[in-house]
Amino acid sequence: MAQAGGPYTEPPSYPRPVSEALGRMALEKGKLQIAEDAFRQALEQYPESHRALTGLAETLRRAGKPVAAGF
């Protein structure tokens, strides 16, 4: 069944901020300040981004900062 009114594209045609990918890679490498900055930049572009929100929360948790400080 086709999606309502939208063409099929692979990969998805919606934009993903590069800063989300940078944040995820920095987090995986333990570069917490770079990850925090990248996730915050992604949230400036897309404030409701679940990937950026969860990435920032995990980064703050690993850095020992209060998660509420990120929001």
Could you state, in order of their start, the residue ranges of all structural domains in the chain?
18-70
**Whether the Cβ atoms of residue 17 and residue 46 lie closer than 8 Å to each other:** yes
Q: What is the pTM of this model?
A: 0.76
> What is the tens place of the pLDDT at every residue in 22-66?
999 999 999 999 999 999 999 999 999 999 999 999 999 999 999
pLDDT interval class at 8 (50, 70, 90)? low
The candidate with the shortest Cα–Cα distance to 32, out of 52, 16, 12, 55, is 55
Helix ranges (DSSP H) in 9-49: 18-28, 32-45
With 0-12 / 13-18 / 19 or more C-beta atoms within 10 angstroms meaning exposed / middle / buried, residue 48 is exposed
Q: What distance lies between CA 47 and its chain's CA centroid?
A: 10
